[in-house]
Amino acid sequence: MLQAATLPPVSVASRAATPRVQAIDVVRGLAMVIMALDHIRDFWSPTAVRPDDMAHASAALFFTRWITHFCAPTFLFLAGASVFLYQQKQPRLSRVSWFLLTRGLWLVLLEIVVMNFLLQWGTYDTILLTVIWALGWSMVLLAGLIWLPRGLVAALALVVIFGHNALPIVQPVTWATLVPALLYNSPFLFLLTPKLPMLVAYAVLPWAAVMAAGYCIGPWFLAPLPMRKRWLRLTGAAALLLFIALRASNWYGNPTPWLVQPRGSLYTVLSFLNVTKQPPSLLFLSLTLGVALLLLSVAEDLPARLRGWLGVFGKVPLFYYLTHFALISAGTFVWTWAAFGQPYNLAFAPSGVPQPAAYRPGLLRAYAVWVVVVALLYWPCRWYQGYKQRHTHWWLSYL
């Protein structure tokens, strides 16, 4: 299905005329807005109960976390599609490959240096490797994959997406087994030194496959709009049907089965929807990418004002990502100082530091802060979007 778009090659003369695809910016912008909710919940309303704990979590807490599952796969998938569209504007494939390699390594550096500082307020109690780490290495791998025939890239992506759940988890993780663990393990803690642990939250290989799959459907976005919508709609529906069929059977595609819940039918439905993000299981990707494909098929039919608003965020995703974390982290610093007499990192407190006795989680607080943060970010993102349009500095493509 990833190869359904057998379009004629884009001529060199028309490369520069390849337009931005509004649907990509809109859906990516929606993912960025929703993503902020999860990060704000971590910083402003962390709970002792896991959101996916069917025995104790409320439905509101479950869905607050569950809705944000759509963000990372959508973002990496659209990053792959954007790479294909970027490639159409370049005279040489080597230039695209070099850009992916250097930008990918730059993102890895940003994760380790900048993001860890923002998340941990400069303590570096643990090296955290999260989505920007996975995005960076996915770009590095794609820098090599783009030299292969697109059909082979599609086949490799599908093999990883469908097959990585069959791989055994690396246990224990040692220096000798660190590389395969980084590629496909579930989240794990690894001691770089006796006093410096590294928490690997995102395995590289399945996320790289998601980006590669997005790259392979890139030609769809050059097709006439009715044809593109049809391909996206059919593929999205097929992915959701696959999710329903495999999830109902409890046969394959997710490490944990769904179970009838003693708390009632609502929680049984939540158990059915509760699929594994780390590493992203086949059913997790079938569900999230299925919805993303359907959204891409209708994004250009949304009201113009909503498309424009979401598109502002979708056109400057890395700027938004770094800025929203800076705002969330700084806001938590000020709020906890005012509320508890000293600043406290509720999301990533240094080990051994207890939560303030007066702290109480509150989803309403998280949602209120989410609305404020997204509203505050609109104008900086709009300014930076305009700045990028007016300037051609080389470094702008890296931020």
Is position 2 within any domain? no
Q: Which of 37, 57, 60 is closest to 47 using CA atoms?
A: 57
Is the pLDDT score of 16 beyond 70?
A: no
Three-class SS string for 176-221?
A: CCHHHHHHHCCCEEEEEECCEEEEECCCHHHHHHHHHHHHHCHHHH
In the structure encoding, which two tokens stand for residue 209, read together?
Answer: 């496959």
pLDDT of residue 399: 84
**pLDDT tens digit string along 363-389?**
999 999 999 999 999 999 999 999 998
pLDDT of residue 13: 40
Q: Which residue has the tokens 């069959």?
A: 166
Q: Which residue has the tokens 């402003």?
A: 44
Going by the DSSP 8-state scheme, the letter that residue 114 receives in this structure is I
Measured CA to CA, the distance from residue 76 to residue 212 in angstroms comes to 9
Is position 116 within any domain? yes
In the structure encoding, which two tokens stand for residue 103, read together?
Answer: 């930008």
Give Cβ neighbours of residue 262 (< 8 Å, ≥ 6 apart): none
For 192-227, b/e burial (b = at least 16 CB within 10 A) is eeeeeebebbbbbbbbbbbbbbbbbbbbbbbbeeee
**3 state SS of 349:** coil
CA 162-166-168 angle, 5° bins: 140
Q: Which of 102, 84, 97 is closest to 144 using CA atoms?
A: 97
Is position 242 within any domain? yes
**pLDDT tens digit string along 173-206?**
999 999 999 999 999 999 998 889 999 999 999 9
Is position 247 within any domain? yes
Is the pLDDT score of 4 beyond 60?
A: no
Alpha helices (H) along 58-130? 59-66, 71-87, 93-110, 116-120
Is the pLDDT score of 393 beyond 80?
A: yes
Q: Which domain holds residue 243?
A: 14-398
Residue 122: enclosing H or E segment and its boundaries? none
Give Cβ neighbours of residue 190 (< 8 Å, ≥ 6 apart): 173, 178, 181, 197, 198, 200
Is position 259 within any domain? yes
Q: Which of 325, 277, 306, 312 is closest to 74 using CA atoms?
A: 277
pTM for this model (two decimals) = 0.93
E-assigned strands of the chain?
127-129, 188-193, 196-200
In the structure encoding, which two tokens stand for residue 302, read together?
Answer: 């949304």
- Mean pLDDT, the chain, whole residue set: 92
pLDDT band at residue 299, thresholds of 50, 70 and 90? very high
Quick check: 140 and 205 in contact, CB under 8 A?
Answer: no
**265 phi and psi, to 5 degrees?**
-65, -35
**pLDDT tens digit string along 135-154?**
999 999 999 999 999 999 99
Which of the residue ranges 17-26, 309-318, 323-332 would you say has the lowest mean pLDDT?
17-26
**pLDDT tens digit string along 267-298?**
999 999 999 999 999 999 999 999 999 999 99
Is position 9 within any domain? no
Going by the DSSP 8-state scheme, the letter that residue 147 receives in this structure is T
Is position 328 within any domain? yes
Residue 1 CA neighbour count, 13 Å, CB half: 15
**pLDDT tens digit string along 116-135?**
999 988 778 889 999 999 99
pLDDT of residue 18: 59
Is position 7 within any domain? no
**pLDDT tens digit string along 44-68?**
999 999 999 999 999 999 999 999 9
Measured CA to CA, the distance from residue 399 to residue 261 in angstroms comes to 46
Is the pLDDT score of 82 beyond 90?
A: yes
Number of domains in the chain: 1
Measured CA to CA, the distance from residue 270 to residue 274 in angstroms comes to 6
Measured CA to CA, the distance from residue 330 to residue 222 in angstroms comes to 42
